[in-house]
Structure 1
């Protein structure tokens, strides 16, 4: 006996496009920032398909102007600036996105623990205050210096530097939500702590955490570029925007694209992340929208 199943109805393309345009019109910052960031991600992770070899050196083609073969010219070692810029985007995005995810997760766990369990609150907050009192660049340099330059240790260092700000923000949200009537009613009704945290506390922290995560991502990308510029980030042979600016700033007058290409890409990426963060803030908190 054959059972006939009803066909699955699909949403027509027209309404889907209209919904997308409606979201773009209501939240242009999130749409522009997210689209620009997505473009950088696609260009970065598909760089091996269209960019040249970022490590190939040709001493006879040092500091060449842009050409059909090398779109952004060559650096002081004869390497393709365009290829190094595109491959450097991958390093910056990996470090920025991974550091933001690690800092957000650590800040969420520590912030919930501090905000809901007041017996540990004073100790945790004093530790966070100590970390925040140290300049982020100096703290990151000290942490990276323990094992030497490397992407893994750089992500760990930036995550530790950015965790205190996320922790304090999550803690403030938990303290505010914990006093609301529905949370107190759940506690008085005998709900267990994991259930209260999962069903009532955690959902209230997610929107704030997403907005803060965008800010942390932008800060992590900029911090990675600064550490690489100082020589304590990724190894010098690895193409990254900070390394490119550091090795080429002396030749700015001869070959300006060796500095401007990674610098403009760095600024555009940070702008995209900040626009996305502002758009998410407007999306989750309509009261914060700027009225023209």
Structure 2
């Protein structure tokens, strides 16, 4: 067997016949070493790595740096997205599932690729609202998938809340006579059912606004803008518009969309820009109500 394989019998890169365990056992130590070295030499050798110039090395390093930055940014964005989804009422598992769907860009069944293309946020929100039959806790997830993450990714909960409220306020005003004397309670009554219906979406949206001043400002601005547009469209009076705005605030308070102290903050700020007698009286009413609540707490 000493002639079966010797260190000099096979060229370095020649194909090597595979020996059986029995044949290997008959080889001497030197022959086995030569056999294994020949097998290694017969394996395809990796091509020599190209020597990079300084410019090419810098380009490669810059590419690696950017890739690392993108990865770090993506992780940060994922965490921010999860936090925001949880603020909107989803638990950890639901938030992760939704984030995964959004990142994969999945389309919901029946979605049209061109649906909503070119729409502004207000139009997208209005279309989504018109498609809803029943409003539940799951509706907020549906809103995010169909509106926010398909064309309006950079919008915030305050933007969404403002759009929905503005639509509800305008609808209520459209069913009222804005050409004459209008009590705020008339608008508040018109809003009672719509606000109750949309509460499963409105309440978590409001809670997810992390700026203590932005939330009340968003609510109050939505009322002011909606009523002003309704007054213009119907050639209504300024007095009726002022009453309608307060009617919107009364309805929000009745439905507990936001606490009295935050509603008061928003009313004070909007009153400085759009003052009216009826709004001043409503501000005084809120101040008295909060003072009464404070007194009751002290008595307890």
Common fold: TM-score over 0.5: no
Relative contact order: is structure 1 or structure 2 higher (C-alpha 8 Å, sep ≥ 6)? 1
TM interval, shorter chain, is under 0.3
TM-score (norm 2): 0.23
Point out the structure with max Rg over C-alpha. 2
Q: TM-score w.r.t. structure 1 length? A: 0.23
